[in-house]
Structure 1
Amino acid sequence: MARKPVQRTKHIPQRTCVGCRQVMAKRALIRIVRTPQGVQIDPTGKLAGRGAYVHEDRQCWERALKGALAHALKTELTEQERVFLTEYMQSLPEEYHVA
């Protein structure tokens, strides 16, 4: 008698938002990475360097920029990096709704 194939569930990587500490799927968060050139947003999630994840929500970004992001990246954010990240934050929606 033949055995039925076992249905395997696909592994979904989980990451924690540094703003609100909520654990979600990696793809649902925005990765920010520290590289030798400085801190930048990583839309592909594949840049080399130390990374941190934040929701696509202004409230999480505001909390992250207060210090949690710098702590997670193990660096001090320069004024130029802080301005860049704040400008990116302004383009995000007020509230992020998880589907």
Structure 2
Amino acid sequence: MSTNRKVPLRKCVVTGEMLPKKSMLRIVRSKEGEVSVDPTGKKSGRGAYVSKSEEAIELARKKNMLERQLEAKIPEEVYDELLRLIRRESIL
């Protein structure tokens, strides 16, 4: 293989691991302060990455890690959506 492209790594705000961007979920806070899940990874705003594991999501919820990272209140629906995305992927 001649393509020696670097895999973009991102740090999980929960585990502190550096993982390929593709194996993580991005949560984004817009300028308006809206917090949402960013499955494409392309939304503008301040982003935080979380490992695609239910444990990481639950830990982030329990310890308010995303709130600290994004300096915004994280609605429960965001955590529910993250868990839904992880579960859907683990079925596929």
Same fold (TM over 0.5): yes
Could you list the per-position Cα deviations for residues 58-91 of structure 1 after superposition, in whole angstroms to 9, with x for gaps in the alignment? 1101222222211221x131xxx42112322442
Please tell me whether Structure 1 or Structure 2 has the larger radius of gyration of its CA atoms.
Answer: 1
TM-score, L = length of structure 1: 0.73
- For 1:56, the aligned partner's letter is K
Q: Is 1:87 the equivalent of 2:80?
A: yes
Paired-residue identity, % = 31
The answer on whether the counterparts of 1:17 and 1:55 sit within 8 Å (CA) in structure 2 is yes
Q: Is 1:67 the equivalent of 2:68?
A: no
The answer on whether the counterparts of 1:20 and 1:63 sit within 8 Å (CA) in structure 2 is no
More helix by share: 2
TM-score, L = length of structure 2: 0.78
- For 1:30, the aligned partner's letter is L
Distance in 2 (CA, whole Å) between partners of 1:10 and 1:86 is 32
Structure 2's unaligned 5+ residue stretches are: none
Structure 1's unaligned 5+ residue stretches are: 1-6
Q: Which 4+ stretches in 1 moved above 4 angstroms?
A: none
Distance in 1 (CA, whole Å) between partners of 2:79 and 2:5 is 35
